[in-house]
Amino acid sequence: MTNTCYMISSSPLLLEILKELSYV
């Protein structure tokens, strides 16, 4: 799980996608 968190943290694109998904 830590690996996934690290990947998301170093991926601004992933962060933006997650934000968009949260809005929906």
Give DSSP secondary structure letters for 1-24: -HHHHHHHHT-HHHHHHHHHHHH-
The reply to whether the predicted model has a pTM over 0.85 is no
Q: For the segment 1-24, what is each residue's pLDDT rounded down to a tens digit?
A: 577 767 667 778 888 888 888 877
Q: What pLDDT does residue 17 have?
A: 87
pLDDT of residue 7: 67
Extended strands (E) in the chain: none
